[in-house]
Structure 1
């Protein structure tokens, strides 16, 4: 319920998921904008990005946290193991996912419980996901 005096949402009422994603993206952008240039370059290099990648990643990456874990699960890949043992590979998967042109199709396929083969037809990470799935 909105607070009459401030017009803000009450903390007890959950915000729609799209609004949470927008707020998180803005917070991420503010955090990067306030970094010293050298620190910003270091952080970007750690995740395999450069300054010119930021607009695409920040504007279009809200789906990564939602869809990539599901794509990993669909392919039998343990996300915790990947994060602990091959973080570089996880970051690359996230980078590719963030620039994905087929987000809507991916979301529909995952929601419908489609098999991995059907998901691979639209996923730019399909080759890596397949390799990880067979290695697990």
Structure 2
């Protein structure tokens, strides 16, 4: 079932998720989750549109584990905000893939050097999705 959210609801959800992210930064994420029972973890994961496994993996990866993803998207002329708005599930899946990535150092080097546009396909967990987005004019920065 796909929900169609109004802009005020979407904004409120983003604010709540932002608050959660800031709260997690101020204390140890694993410690916070350790205080929750499985029912609470399941409810929190559902509220965030994630599976409990995905939520735990993201918490374990840390609050900045997917910071590279929007930078890579912008470097590839993809508007992260538009992808998040139009394709929320795809965006979340990409965040999870980025958070779990083992090639962060290479990604950061390529972003810094400007080589990301050619190099990402060799190691990025999101390479297939990023290439598909590059072919979608509705989510490009230069439309």
Decide: shared fold, TM above 0.5. Answer: yes
- Of the structure 1 ranges 36-45 and 89-98, higher mean CA displacement relative to structure 2 is found in 36-45
Gaps of 5+ in 1: 1-20
Aligned to 1:48, what secondary structure does the other structure show? Answer: coil
* 1:3 corresponding residue in structure 2: none
- Asked if 2 retains the 8 angstrom alpha-carbon contact of 1:41 and 1:50, the reply is yes
1:53-132 matches, within 5 Å, as 54=56, 56-61=57-62, 62-65=64-67, 67-132=68-133
For this pair of structures, how many residues does the alignment match?
Answer: 113
* 2:141 corresponding residue in structure 1: none
Task: Give the whole-Å Cα distance in 2 for the aligned partners of 1:27 and 1:36.
Answer: 17
Task: Give the whole-Å Cα distance in 1 for the aligned partners of 2:55 and 2:81.
Answer: 26
TM-score where L is the length of structure 1: 0.67
TM-score where L is the length of structure 2: 0.64
